[in-house]
A = this chain, B = another copy of it.
Amino acid sequence: MVTRSRSGTDEEQVLAANRAFYDALRSLDIAQMEKVWLQEDWVRCVHPGWELLLGWEDVQKSWEDIFHSSGQMLISVSRPLVQVVGDTAWVSCLADITTAQKDGFSTGLIETTNIFVRREGRWLLVHHHTTPLSRGADSSSNRVVQ
């Protein structure tokens, strides 16, 4: 069942929340990233190549570290698939990320699951799970963005 409100269907709202997450990632601004997450001790995050982080404190610190060590990011998000069940929703998408670094660029194609929960009408990120994909035979180009 699709529920429509003034600000779009549930699915449209979740996709907007997903875009806001990637906008925050592009911004390298921790304040913007803080706005898209639910800041509770049970949220989880698996960055590319990292072990799982549990709880907002560790997740927030990881974004601070990533933003501190990363240069400007180009991010292209494709194939978003959204499913809403009550006040929970999840998006699968591909993120093609190129990051400027001191010694050049790193690129990675990242298969991602983002889970959101709705709190007071806002969809907030509670789970971010990434998998770096290899690009055909040229796996050396799949250096992941940290």
Chain A residues at the B interface, C-beta cutoff of 8 Å: 42, 44, 46, 49, 51-52, 54, 79, 81, 83, 85-88, 90, 92, 111, 113, 115, 117, 126-127, 129-131, 133-134
A46-B127 CB under 8 A given contacts A87-B86, A88-B86? no
Give the residue of B44, B52, B86, B129 whose beta carbon is less than 8 angstroms from that of A85. Answer: B86
> A42 to nearest B CB, angstroms?
6
Query: Are A44 and B87 in contact (CB-based, < 8 A)?
Result: no
Q: Nearest chain-B residue to A83 (Cβ)?
A: B42
> A76 to nearest B CB, angstroms?
17
Chain B contacts for A42, CB-based, 8 A:
81, 83
